[in-house]
Chain A
Amino acid sequence: AQSVTQLDSHVSVSEGTPVLLRCNYSSSYSPSLFWYVQHPNKGLQLLLKYTSAATLVKGINGFEAEFKKSETSFHLTKPSAHMSDAAEYFCVVYNQAGTALIFGKGTTLSVSS
């Protein structure tokens, strides 16, 4: 079965410093992986997606993620955090049938000035 594990429930950074949110996946086939962001009391928005094209994926708001098959990882990074990046981030994998997204438990990103 497909699953994702987000290694940190909470990450705190200072504004202007790099962001690293870690995600490992488990899949018996070549997965489709995504990162979604949820701002407080809002719906979710797609940040970026990996669907077996380039292993380095660029998303919105300066975020990017690298698919590493050897490490079964799909970590999310950003070179310089902004206050507006404070939110909940979810690593997500598609189920094999393509009918459902399977979400990790989320990582709360806090950004201090």
Chain B
Amino acid sequence: QVQLVQSETEVHKPGASVTVSCKSSGFSFTSHPIHWVRQAPGQGLEWMGWINAGSGNRKSSPKFQGRLSLTTDTSANTAYMRLTSLRFEDTAIYYCARFWADGEALDFWGQGSLVTVSS
């Protein structure tokens, strides 16, 4: 079955960087773009960017102004989201999700990774 398993909770100081991993199984990793979505405490969902492991194409929200890096390791069927120069407002649960082209939807989601930015 399709699964996206993310890395665990992390705590970082302002200015540091964090990398969240998203290991996929049960489907062709290179055939489905992976999107990243975050959710601040008590808030709604915010799209961050996507990457296609098959083509190498990627796109990030301008909101992150070069702080966001999306990569993949096709040998490990894993996607990575790296956010640098962390700020207090980056505290959130970060989700990876598979994009299903036929339905134009994010059909499977990881369990989420809590990133806390605290001094």
> Are A and B genuine complex partners?
no
Which residues of B line the A interface, CB within 8 A? none
Which residues of A line the B interface, CB within 8 A? none
